Structure 1
Amino acid sequence: MEETRLQRHVRAPWRGLALWLLGIPATLAGLWFIAVVSMITSFVGVLLFPSSAMLLRERLDAYRVRINRWTDVRIARPYLPEPEREPGLQGMVRRFVALISDPATWRDYLWVLTDPVVSALTAALPAMLILYGVWGYVLAAFAGDMIGHYGGSDWYAYIHVTAGYGRDTGRILSTVVVATACIALGYAIGPKMLTAYGHWGRALLGPTRKSELALRVQHLTETRSEAVDASAAELRRIERDLHDGAQARLVAMGMSLGAIEHLLDRDPEKARILLAETRASSAKALHELRDLVRGIHPPVLADRGVGDAVRALALDHPMDVEVSADLPARPEPPVESAAYFAVSEILTNAAKHSGASRVWIDMRHENGMLRITVTDDGRGGATLDGGSGLRGIERRIGTFDGVLALSSPPGGPTIVTMELPCALSSPKISPS
C-alpha cells in the first residue's frame, strides 16, 4: 500500500535512524575485513578474504534493501559475476582474485569508513533533531530545574541551564520554542534527508559502468539461453499436437477414403456411412488446427491487440474475469505475445490451484512500461519456488527485460504484477 505524504514525514526520521544504527554491524564487518586484508600477504589472508568479503556484502545488502524500500532511489547489486566454484587450491585462488579485483569490494569498504559520518548528517539528522526537541521538553518540565538545583550547568541551544532555571519563565519558554522548532524541522526534512542519503548510497553501493556491463552481459546470456529453451519446448509442443491430433485424423481420413473407393460399387450404403464419418473427422481436424493456430498466435491478438485478446480470453474462462485495459496504442508484437500468454498461464494456474471465483486484470502503459496486474480472491499461498508456472512466466518475460512480482499471503488475495519495457505504436497505424 502506497504511503501518504503525512506517513512519509512521520516515518522518515526513524527510518533514517535505523539506517544509522545498521552501521554498527556493518562497521564490525568492515573492521574484520580490513584485519583480513592486513594478512593478505600470507596464506591465511587469502583463505579468509572470500568469507570476509561475503560478510561485508551481506551487511551492505541490508542497506540496499532498505534504501530501495524507504526512498525513491533504486540501488542494484554491483558485484561482478563470480567464477564457477572449483575445488582445490586453484579454485580458491581464482575466487580470491575475482573478489579482490572487483571494484565493488573496495567501494563497500569505503562506504563502511565514511557512512557513520554521512548518515549522521543526512538520514539520522531528522531523528536527532526530534530527540533533541524531546530533551528540550524534558528540560522545561523538570530536568532543567534539577540540573540547576544540584549546581549543574548545561546549554540547550543558546539557553543557559543553570541555577534559577526553573524559576525563569523566559528561559523555559525559549526552551519550549526551540524544542518545538527542532521537532517540526526534523519531521519536515525527514523525507528529503532520507532521499539525499539514498543518492549517497547509490553513488558508492550501486554498480559502476564496468559492473553494469558485466551484469548486463550475464543477464542477456541467461535470458538468451532461456529463450532458446522456451522456443525449443514450444516447437516440440506444436509437433506433438500436430502428430497426436490433426495429423492422426488426416491419416485416418486417408484410410477411410481408400475404403470408400472400394465400397462405392459393392456397398454404396456403407460407403455413405464412411463418408459421413470422414466429414466429421475433417471438421474435428480443422477445429484442432484452428486451436493449434490460436495457441501459436491468436488471430484476435494479431487483429485487435493484447487488450482485446485478453478480454476475449476472459470471456472463454470458467471464472468471472474482469478486464481493465488502458492502452492508448499497441506494444510491439513480441511484447504483446509474451504478455498475452503470460496472462493466459496465470489464469490457468488460478483456475487449477487458487480456489478463486473472481479475477481482476488491469493493463496499462506507464513510464515506458507495460504494467499488468492480475488479482484473484483465492486462498493465496502461491510461490515462485521450484518449477512453478509462475517461474516459467518470469523467465519468459525476462527475455524482454520484464520483471514479475508476487504477493500471495495465506488466505489471499494473490496479486501477480508484471512489467515489460516497451514503446507503443502510434494509434493511427494500429490495426482497428
Structure 2
Amino acid sequence: MTRVRKRLRASFDAVARLVGGLGTALLALAAFLWLGVVVLLCCVGVGVLLLPAALRALRAVANRERVRLDVLAPGPVPRRARDALRDVTVRRELAWLLLHVTVGSAAGFIGLAAPATALQNTTYPLWYHRLPPDDNTPSLIPWAVTNLTGALAVSLTGVLCVVVIVGLGPSLVRVQEWPGRHLLTPPAGTDLSLRVAELTATRAAALDAHAAELRRIERSLHDGTQNRLVAVTVLLGAARRAVDRDPAAAVDVLDRAQDAAEQALAELRAVVRGILPPVLADRGLAGALAGLAGSCGVPCEVVVDVPGRCAASVEATAYFVVAEALSNVAKHSGAASAVVEVGRERDRLLLRISDDGRGGADERGGSGLSGIRRRIEAYDGRLTLDSPPGGPTTIEVDLPCGS
C-alpha cells in the first residue's frame, strides 16, 4: 500500500512539474517570437537597439526556469548587443530557448492533456448518451460512438492515459527539464565561486546560531539553575544556624533546600535535553518525533520512512525543527490537526510539517521561523515556507545526511 501511495504521489508530482514546465515554455515561446521580431528589425537597423532588451527578457524567462529547477541564476546581461551575443550564458540560453519551446512545450502539453483525457474517457460510458449523435466523437477515437460497447472501448483509452501518466510521467519530467539542467546551470568556475559565497554565508549563519545557542544556555543557567543553587546555599546556611536554637525550623528550611535542589536538577536536565535530546539516542528519530507529537497541544500524525540512522547532528537538527514548528502550530496557527512527514532520498533527509490552521506565518513575526532557518542553513540545508492567509501552512526542510 505504501508503494502504491508513493507511486501515485510521484505521478501527481510529475504532472504538476510538467504543467509548471509548460508555463515556462509558453513564456519561452513569447520570448522566442519577440526575438524573431527583433532579428527581422535588425535588417533595417532598428533591431540592434532592441536586441539587449530582448536578451534581458530572455534572461528573465530563463531565470523563471532556473527558480523552478532550483538552479543558480547568473548576473545581468551585458548592455551592449555585441557583448551580450559574446556572452557564453546568453548563447546557452538561446539554445535552451529553442529546445524548451519545442520539447518542453510538447512534454508539458502531454502532462496537461493526459490527465484531462483520462478523466474524460474513463467516465465516458456514464454520459456519452447525453451527447447528440453527430457530435459524439471523444478524444483519441476517430469515429462516432453510438452504443455502450464503443463507450467502453473509449474508457479503455482513458485507462491507457492513466498508465502513461503513472509509467512515463517521471521520464517526461526528465526530458522536459534536461535542457534547463544542462544549459541554464552556470559554468563550473561561476558555480564554484557562488558556492564559496554560499558556504561563507552559511558558515556565518552557523556561527550566529552557535552564539545564539550559547546565549540561550547561559540565560537558562543564569536565570534558572544558578538562582536555584544560590537559594539552596542560603537555605543550608539558615538551616545550619537554626539547628541549635530551633530544630523544627531547621527541618523546614532543609525541606525547602531539598525542593530547590530538585528544581535545579530538573532545570539542568532541561538544559541538557536542549543541547542534545537523550531520547534521540534511546528511541531514534522516529520515536523522538512520536514523543513530540504526543506532547503537542494539537492532534499530530507522524509518518517516518527513514531506513537506518543519520548523523547525530542531523537528527538533532530535525528534532529541533519539528519541535519548534509544532510549538508554533500549537501557539499561533489555530489548527485542528498537524502532520509531520520525514523521509530520505539518497543523501538528503526531507521533512514536511503541515497544519490546517489560519496560515499567514511570517519569518519576521517573531514566531521562531527565522531561528529554524538559521539552524537549517548552518547544516547547508534548505527551508521552504508556504503559508497563504487562510492556510494551510506547510514547512518543507531538506537536510544533507550523507550517503
Q: How many residues align?
A: 337
2:197 paired residue number: 218
SS of equivalent to 1:378: coil
Query: In the aligned structure 1, how far is the partner of 2:109 from the partner of 2:255?
Result: 88
2:88 paired residue number: 107
Residue 233 of structure 2: which of 254, 277, 287 is its match? 254
Query: In the aligned structure 1, how far is the partner of 2:209 from the partner of 2:377?
Result: 12
- Specify whether residues 267 and 123 from structure 1 end up closer, same or farther in structure 2 by C-alpha distance, changes over 3 A only: closer
User: How do 1:255-270 residues align onto structure 2 when only pairs under 5 Å count?
Assistant: 255-270=234-249
Query: In the aligned structure 2, how far is the partner of 1:382 from the partner of 1:105?
Result: 45
Q: Does the CA-based 8 Å contact 1:26-1:112 persist in structure 2?
A: no
Shift of 1:343: 0.5
Q: Percent identity?
A: 37
Question: What amino acid is aligned across from residue 77 of structure 1 in structure 2?
Answer: L
Query: In the aligned structure 2, how far is the partner of 1:105 from the partner of 1:75?
Result: 26
Q: Does 1:22 align with 2:30?
A: yes
2:62 paired residue number: 60
2:379 paired residue number: 400
2:74 paired residue number: 79
- Specify whether residues 126 and 398 from structure 1 end up closer, same or farther in structure 2 by C-alpha distance, changes over 3 A only: closer
Question: What amino acid is aligned across from residue 88 of structure 2 in structure 1?
Answer: R
Q: Deviations over 1:139-186 (max 9, x none)?
A: xxxxxxxxxxxxxxxxxxxxxxxxxxxxxxxxxxxxx89xxxxxx9xx
Query: In the aligned structure 2, how far is the partner of 1:224 from the partner of 1:10?
Result: 36
SS of equivalent to 1:305: helix
Q: Deviations over 1:196-252 (max 9, x none)?
A: 463233333212111111111111101110110111111111111111111111111
User: How do 1:4-403 residues align onto structure 2 when only pairs under 5 Å count?
Assistant: 4=12, 18-24=26-32, 27=35, 57-65=59-67, 68=68, 74=69, 76-79=71-74, 106-111=87-92, 113-114=94-95, 117-119=98-100, 121-124=102-105, 195-196=174-175, 198-384=177-363, 388-403=367-382
Q: Does the CA-based 8 Å contact 2:31-2:57 persist in structure 1?
A: no
Q: Deviations over 1:358-401 (max 9, x none)?
A: 22112222222211111212112224456652232122112222
Shift of 1:15: 5.2
Give the RMSD, CA atoms, in angstroms. Answer: 4.3
Q: Which has the larger radius of gyration?
A: 1
SS of equivalent to 2:351: strand
Query: In the aligned structure 2, how far is the partner of 1:331 from the partner of 1:3?
Result: 28
- Specify whether residues 113 and 209 from structure 1 end up closer, same or farther in structure 2 by C-alpha distance, changes over 3 A only: closer
- Specify whether residues 16 and 343 from structure 1 end up closer, same or farther in structure 2 by C-alpha distance, changes over 3 A only: closer
Query: In the aligned structure 1, how far is the partner of 2:314 from the partner of 2:90?
Result: 41
- Specify whether residues 17 and 251 from structure 1 end up closer, same or farther in structure 2 by C-alpha distance, changes over 3 A only: closer
Provide the TM-score with structure 1 as the length reference.
0.65
2:137 paired residue number: none
Query: In the aligned structure 1, how far is the partner of 2:21 from the partner of 2:310?
Result: 42
Query: In the aligned structure 1, how far is the partner of 2:72 from the partner of 2:17?
Result: 28
Query: In the aligned structure 1, how far is the partner of 2:37 from the partner of 2:232?
Result: 75
Question: What amino acid is aligned across from residue 31 of structure 2 in structure 1?
Answer: G
Question: What amino acid is aligned across from residue 58 of structure 1 in structure 2?
Answer: A
Q: Does the CA-based 8 Å contact 2:289-2:322 persist in structure 1?
A: yes
1:413 paired residue number: 392
1:151 paired residue number: none
Query: In the aligned structure 1, how far is the partner of 2:351 from the partner of 2:278?
Result: 21
Query: Structure 1: 5+ residue runs without aligned partners?
Result: 40-48, 69-73, 83-94, 130-175, 178-183, 425-432
Query: In the aligned structure 1, how far is the partner of 2:227 from the partner of 2:319?
Result: 30
Shift of 1:123: 3.6
- Specify whether residues 103 and 370 from structure 1 end up closer, same or farther in structure 2 by C-alpha distance, changes over 3 A only: farther
- Between 315-324 and 54-63, the greater mean CA deviation after superposition: 54-63
Q: Does the CA-based 8 Å contact 2:363-2:369 persist in structure 1?
A: yes
Shift of 1:309: 1.2
Q: Does the CA-based 8 Å contact 1:107-1:204 persist in structure 2?
A: no
Could you list the structure 1 runs, at least 4 aligned residues long, displaced by more than 6 angstroms after superposition. Answer: 28-31, 51-54, 102-105, 125-129, 190-194
Q: Deviations over 1:239-287 (max 9, x none)?
A: 1111111111111111111111111111112111111111111111111
Provide the TM-score with structure 2 as the length reference.
0.69
Question: What amino acid is aligned across from residue 18 of structure 1 in structure 2?
Answer: L
Q: Does the CA-based 8 Å contact 1:381-1:412 persist in structure 2?
A: yes
Question: What amino acid is aligned across from residue 106 of structure 1 in structure 2?
Answer: D
Q: Does the CA-based 8 Å contact 2:302-2:341 persist in structure 1?
A: yes
